[in-house]
Amino acid sequence: MTDLSPDPASRRSPLHDVHAAAGATFTDFAGWQMPVRYSSDLAEHAAVRTAAGLFDLSHMGEILVVGPQSAAALDFALSGPMSRLAERQAKYTLMLDENGGIIDDLVVYRTGEDRYLVVANASNREVVAARLRERADGFDALVEDESGDIGLLALQGPRALEILQNLDGLDLRADIEPGTSTADAVAALRYYRAIPGEYEGRRILVARTGYTGEDGFELYTSPEILRTLWESLLEIGAGAGLVPAGLAARDTLRLEAGMPLYGHELGLSVLPAQAGIGRAVSLDGKGDFVGRAAIERGEPADPRSDFAGRVLVGLASEGKRAGRAGYAVHEDGGGRVGFITSGALSPTLGHPVALAYVDADRGEPGTTLSVDVRGTRIPATVTPLPFYTRAAH
């Protein structure tokens, strides 16, 4: 079982020793010691864009909600209509507080008629589990934090399908059409769908989801066989360009894909509409849920916050000097109108990109602003998100 003891410094992935032997550099991430890189950020980023990368995401939280009223409980607890999910379907959704602020952004899988898997960010696992229990009170539903019993790997990139199709020991044929091979079942799996099966005699959930802007899969299974799965995938994928990848590459990949990160673009002071994820909130055809009244009012989650009155935009610049989180954004030739939440020199595009909150009347694509990079104002243009899509490259 993965260590989930109260001492944050002691939280390690089941693969910690494997990562160390591979030369990984570690960083503290939400109280976990996780690989930030193995070789170089650029090489790992490029591998995911051109071939495939393998990520250890065992720090993520997995919370099980089961029972006859599990769907109703989640409809009340979360912003999206979980009761409308078909079995084996996944959905991106939000947990809001009473002011409409974002407690966490989540992916929810309906794994059975009365069974859901809620995947939370590592830093929010405990609070999400606690809020789900509170909000499920009065419903015939049980909430169990299963994080210690589930390991998670992400296989991402244009050759991910090919690699997974060649994984010996993976069997997804238990309840699909007779004569269908596991390789065919993997290929037929649609985006934001999942299929259960077995790997080396243990249960596994194979989901076509990810956080990189590429095609790929997320694999949920027992921590006891995570090492076998990790090493087998790397061996199979060696000739296809598969490499282990760390959190640094994951961050630049998701930034290029315009995907928000909790603690940077998302938080308790941010309304979903400000972050460009209002689609994750369902007001039509769904009953009451925590945060609904605040969303309908449309008032700032925290009027005193630096986020109030601002919207999330993409910024693109020329040259090589990238704005970083916290850098000020100014009106072209004028005063401060916002701040960067994530920024980097894009490895794929070759120029700086950033996500930033700016005054709502400065958020139109094509608007020219500037970023204060260590005392120098660098011109930047508001750019539609995402910066990168695999269809265009």
Average pLDDT over residues 230-235: 98
Task: Tell whether the model's pLDDT for residue 8 goes beyond 50.
Answer: no
- Alpha carbon distance 260, 386 (integer Å): 11
pLDDT of residue 286: 87
Average pLDDT over residues 89-117: 98
Phi, psi angle pair for 134, to nearest 5°: -60, -45
pLDDT of residue 333: 81
Q: What is the mean pLDDT of the chain?
A: 95
Of the listed ranges 96-100, 179-183, 264-268, 323-327, the one predicted with least confidence: 179-183
Percent with pLDDT over 70 in the chain: 96
CB atoms within 10 A of CB 314: 21
**What is the enclosing helix (H) or strand (E) of 49?**
helix 41-50
Write out pLDDT tens, residues 133-186. 999 999 999 999 999 999 999 999 999 999 999 999 999 976 667 778 999 999
End-to-end CA separation in angstroms for the chain: 41
**Are the beta carbons of 79 and 95 closer than 8 angstroms?**
yes
Residues written for the chain: 393
Task: Tell whether the model's pLDDT for residue 41 goes beyond 80.
Answer: yes
**Are the beta carbons of 205 and 219 closer than 8 angstroms?**
yes
pLDDT band at 62 (very low <50, low <70, confident <90, very high): very high
Task: Tell whether the model's pLDDT for residue 129 goes beyond 70.
Answer: yes
pLDDT of residue 4: 36
- Alpha carbon distance 187, 176 (integer Å): 13
- Alpha carbon distance 293, 296 (integer Å): 5
**Domain covering 309-393, topology:** Elongation Factor Tu (Ef-tu); domain 3 (2.40.30)
Average pLDDT over residues 298-312: 96
Q: CA torsion sign, 121 to 126 to 131 to 134?
A: positive
Task: Tell whether the model's pLDDT for residue 9 goes beyond 70.
Answer: no
**Are the beta carbons of 97 and 268 closer than 8 angstroms?**
yes
Percent with pLDDT over 90 in the chain: 93
Task: Tell whether the model's pLDDT for residue 2 goes beyond 60.
Answer: no
Average pLDDT over residues 223-230: 98
Average pLDDT over residues 3-24: 77
**What is the enclosing helix (H) or strand (E) of 128?**
helix 125-136
pLDDT of residue 174: 66
Beta partners for 158? Answer: none
* The residue type at 158: P
* The residue type at 250: R
Average pLDDT over residues 301-305: 94
- Alpha carbon distance 107, 127 (integer Å): 16
Task: Tell whether the model's pLDDT for residue 106 goes beyond 90.
Answer: yes
Q: Is 391 left (phi over 0), alpha (psi -120 to 50) or beta?
A: alpha
Average pLDDT over residues 75-94: 98
Burial of 239 (0-12, 13-18, 19+ CB in 10 A): exposed
Angle between helices 125-136 and 70-77 (to 10 degrees): 120
Task: Tell whether the model's pLDDT for residue 225 goes beyond 90.
Answer: yes
pLDDT of residue 262: 97
Task: Tell whether the model's pLDDT for residue 34 goes beyond 70.
Answer: yes
Task: Tell whether the model's pLDDT for residue 1 goes beyond 50.
Answer: no
- Alpha carbon distance 240, 143 (integer Å): 41
Domain ranges of the chain: 8-56+149-255, 309-393
Structure-model confidence comparison of residues 1 and 303, the more confident one: 303
Q: Report cis status (omega within 30 of 0) of the bond before 260.
A: no
Write out pLDDT tens, residues 347-369. 999 999 999 999 999 999 999 99
**Domain covering 8-56+149-255, topology:** Gyrase A; domain 2 (3.30.1360)
